[in-house]
Structure 1
């Protein structure tokens, strides 16, 4: 190890368990996925929708490497999409020295306000940098988006900071299926942002600089980085969600902001188009069957299909949308009942029954809109044999189906259901709803 790195690692304040003298900073962050409970398609028309965090998580592990003048790289490894990519460390350092494109001028930007970055121009610059490096042009769309997200967020968050960096290895793996409507992209970008922010916390603590994090040409950054390195505080969570929104723009163009919010904070969110997401707590554990039809779907065409129905049968379509809105409102009230600490067993059982019935009704309405699929209907039929109610989630047309499992449901029957769904060609997982958001795992 060089003397520079020796002094960086050994002659600075202790940073706890996240730093080891031989390998530098190392930690793992994890982020939940998300699922839409109610409000698919109707949310496009200004109706209420509900989303909850999912107990399937994306994990990002960050590990500093030793510095070498001969061969120093930043390694990115995303095994779920078969991507292993290396950047020359000095080239990344040079990239970080370039001023960020900011509106109205660079002196107004710091780590706290990602909205001041000229998103389109910064994205264009990153894509231009990548197009001339490595084998970027041979990558598929998902691989490119993931790599662009990494470098966009890394440079956007670090370029303004007066912080000494080391080469590092960063890997991300997920329990979520990509493109299935369970928030895989948001879970990914929130893992990126949270990892970068956590590294900034640890590296800042190590360097002893706790006053102004910004370089001179940028606005002073007095962001209070919590000394507790085992968790994120509210200010840090807000920054993570805000930066995650811009990572989501790379994947979805014009995201609603719901996915990055639910993946950051966890629990439950009620949202309407054009309104800030309303965060709700979920203290009662909800067991969920998440069933993958293995049928790919085109979200855009399904949205257009629903729109065509609503236009063709205007009054009927509006009645369907209004009913879906009422279902979301009623489901939210029922979830509030479950989360009350004084709910008794009879009240819980009755509440669960109503929630199941709402799922059945909502699926029927979505079927009328024309966004179901034979695979989804097969899942509904199988679960109905056992007294359970399933509904599609997300755009429909394939993708996933969900089913709440009552707390008193027989484990033997549940095992039968899992076997039957699997034998029918479906991939099914048992998970939980309303889990905590992004967190430091180790």
Structure 2
């Protein structure tokens, strides 16, 4: 289990054959070692933080390439709530992580931008307008090496006018979440930065679910702390001659400032979450005096215990649960003190076992499980359990497969189950011959699914660099095109005399493919021009410019009209230039070659998109989940669908996997083509899901879908805009993630029996359904809230059994339903 990781991102082509997630880079932070002979004052004058030398620190170039830092989430195994009040806790890092991309902007901008698209946060401050006078006053100034255990209320108050403007028009619950995140970030930036800090965009993405007890806020705060300390040159970053003591001091520095961020979000955190997110592994943590650093023992040999992490689906608030226990302690100090002491004894006993000679033995695991049961009972006495948690514990106890307790603050969120010896995943049970225990675990899984504990598997493509799956296919096309052209030479030219040719990418798109093209081009050091139809929202046009587009043009009512204008006018004009430029574009050089980037209809695009299937197979196989029975994807022009079909073709074990292709009414060219038995062109796009706005799918898409429909491997279904909109707002509520309508049509299948109706059959409890959360940037919190108000809850009349026949859904499946 790893702690903080840092990765540089260079704007040069890499050897990797594709761009999945982000462009591969190096592990450096940029800059060289300090020059010999520099004075101590020179070495330690970092944004005004003086007095202490910075050991072995590398220089940081304010115009350095973008860099990424990441940190894991956590699960508390023993000691929740007692740890807030001075007792010990054991916590461990998990494989889910948060990521922060820092991109330095031009010095002329003088802006500070925080983007957190997973929760819909996007806010910009003007650096000179921030309250520097208050934060840099000699009586209140904090240095990067200071231990800060409480917030300075006057500084918090000075910052408030710059926080209240964040998402000021959003609904109160969204506004609160955004302003908490903004407060943590801005307080750290004002404490560690200066008026001369370089303008920068900080883009956060996280795979750690929010509000379920897995340390999402701490993971984010560690990322913020690390990035800001790197930028103010208070960290050197990993380097070959780094001493272990220096590394430990730097991790402690990160941890201290991450704790300050946690103070702003939770009010009274223990510090265990940020400690695990900083150090990784597992830790024994105790903070008796908040004025001093906590006592931390890194448990590097923490055994691989057979744990299940189960999300109850019940949202909760860490701050609320912590405050609840605090009030109980104030009202009943002696009683709660005894409960805290008992929890501390459980933690110490568990520590003795996991650091003993044989922590993985049957006797040790049984002892640890019994301690979990007692720990949960004590937490229940503090009032932090929930009916969903208790129902989960009942089901586990009845199955006899293990011991269960809440993890984190409680009130909902997640629980952990320690499996008894012999109880393993169903796939392992067949290999080990443990049929009885394997059957018991399988039955428990079926019960949890029946009661809504298991979730449909989500492939989170909104975490791609451009915010959608388009980074796969379009990124791969750009990379292959650059490889083919940069080393082009005339016939007979010796390889050593080949001339590098400059490439300018041109893309037509409803927005997302163009954004992926711009991101890929920028990573490869090339310019990109995008043409979008007039139906593309101004917001998307602005995002194209902000991503670094060389030019953005608007033309036509559909994508095909925009595409024709790009190829027949824009690229022709560019080829005819000998200098100068058209509106929105810079100069084109004679040596520059224009490369057209198809948004969906090309084999390199399909090959890039097929890597999604490779990842799903690897992830599901690694987790012991197996093979999906159904893969759900939306269809616009067909690039994603083609890639998925290509990835599935010939893959062992996937022969029975069904691909469900979804469209919205008014953008349903595939469904209508399948219904009529020939490839048709829609007269226009009437759906609001403009990202699906191709009036005609590719010939390859129609070919694959027709063959798949005949064999029963492909099904096509159409939903309304209202259902797609409902999918968006319900998904935002349930998963704290924004997606646009073109993706909402996929997640709408999670609700109200729509999946069964689209498939034309009941869905077995044992089936595994992968929904591709394709992402898309054409969405804001205000848009989602508008859809909620306009469309309402279409399933409000659905009975609790969720039978398909009781759903007021307009979903249609042209191939048989």
TM (norm. structure 1) is 0.72
C-alpha distance in structure 1 between counterparts of 2:373 and 2:350, whole Å: 12
Residue among 226, 233, 240 paired with 2:247? 233
What is the deviation of 1:359? 0.8
The answer to whether the 8 Å contact 1:99/1:159 transfers is: no
C-alpha distance in structure 1 between counterparts of 2:285 and 2:149, whole Å: 27
Q: What aligned pairs does 1:180-191 form with structure 2 within 5 A after superposition?
A: 180-191=212-223
TM-aligned CA distance change 1:376 to 1:230, over 3 Å: farther
The answer to whether the 8 Å contact 1:309/1:369 transfers is: no
TM-aligned CA distance change 1:55 to 1:116, over 3 Å: closer
Structure 2 equivalent of residue 336 of structure 1: 355
Structure 2 equivalent of residue 269 of structure 1: 284
Structure 1 equivalent of residue 556 of structure 2: none
TM-aligned CA distance change 1:19 to 1:417, over 3 Å: farther
The answer to whether the 8 Å contact 1:103/1:118 transfers is: no
Q: What aligned pairs does 1:415-430 form with structure 2 within 5 A after superposition?
A: 417-427=444-454
Structure 2 equivalent of residue 393 of structure 1: 407
Name the SS for the 2:139 alignment partner: coil
The answer to whether the 8 Å contact 2:134/2:158 transfers is: no
Structure 2 equivalent of residue 325 of structure 1: 344
User: Is 2:80 the counterpart of 1:40?
Assistant: yes
C-alpha distance in structure 1 between counterparts of 2:454 and 2:402, whole Å: 17
Q: Deviations over 1:377-436 (max 9, x none)?
A: 22112222042110122343323211124675322035654443233222579999xxxx
The answer to whether the 8 Å contact 1:103/1:116 transfers is: no
The answer to whether the 8 Å contact 1:48/1:328 transfers is: yes
Structure 2 equivalent of residue 436 of structure 1: none
C-alpha distance in structure 1 between counterparts of 2:330 and 2:124, whole Å: 47
Q: Which runs of 5+ in 2 are unaligned?
A: 1-10, 12-25, 32-60, 427-437, 458-619, 624-817
The answer to whether the 8 Å contact 2:134/2:155 transfers is: no
Residue among 261, 267, 273 paired with 1:247? 261
Q: What aligned pairs does 1:373-412 form with structure 2 within 5 A after superposition?
A: 373-384=386-397, 385-405=399-419, 409-412=423-426
C-alpha distance in structure 1 between counterparts of 2:64 and 2:339, whole Å: 57
Aligned length: 377
The answer to whether the 8 Å contact 2:167/2:175 transfers is: no
Q: What aligned pairs does 1:346-385 form with structure 2 within 5 A after superposition?
A: 348-384=361-397, 385=399
Q: Deviations over 1:339-367 (max 9, x none)?
A: x5xx49xx633211211121122223333
C-alpha distance in structure 1 between counterparts of 2:308 and 2:417, whole Å: 5
What is the deviation of 1:264? 1.4
Structure 2 equivalent of residue 278 of structure 1: 296
Q: Deviations over 1:260-312 (max 9, x none)?
A: 2222122212325437232232323334322222224441574268549967x
What is the deviation of 1:173? 1.9
TM-aligned CA distance change 1:328 to 1:300, over 3 Å: closer
C-alpha distance in structure 1 between counterparts of 2:205 and 2:420, whole Å: 31
C-alpha distance in structure 2 between counterparts of 1:117 and 1:274, whole Å: 12
Structure 2 equivalent of residue 56 of structure 1: 96
Q: Which moved more, 1:227-236 or 1:237-246?
A: 227-236
C-alpha distance in structure 1 between counterparts of 2:151 and 2:312, whole Å: 39
TM-aligned CA distance change 1:381 to 1:158, over 3 Å: same
Q: What aligned pairs does 1:151-166 form with structure 2 within 5 A after superposition?
A: 151-159=186-194, 165=198
Q: Deviations over 1:229-276 (max 9, x none)?
A: 999922211111111122112112233333222221222123254372
Q: Which runs of 5+ in 1 are unaligned?
A: 1-8, 10-14, 202-222, 433-442
Structure 2 equivalent of residue 128 of structure 1: 161
What is the deviation of 1:97? 6.2
Structure 2 equivalent of residue 169 of structure 1: 201
**Counting helix residues as a fraction of each chain, which structure ranks higher?**
1
What is the deviation of 1:61? 1.5
Q: Deviations over 1:196-219 (max 9, x none)?
A: 223344xxxxxxxxxxxxxxxxxx
C-alpha distance in structure 1 between counterparts of 2:383 and 2:451, whole Å: 23
Q: Deviations over 1:105-129 (max 9, x none)?
A: 65xx533226399732222222223
C-alpha distance in structure 1 between counterparts of 2:323 and 2:413, whole Å: 14
Q: Deviations over 1:13-57 (max 9, x none)?
A: xx9765699x94222211122222222344456543333333322
The answer to whether the 8 Å contact 1:98/1:159 transfers is: no
What is the deviation of 1:374? 2.3
Residue among 191, 195, 199 paired with 2:227? 195
The answer to whether the 8 Å contact 1:31/1:190 transfers is: yes
TM (norm. structure 2) is 0.41
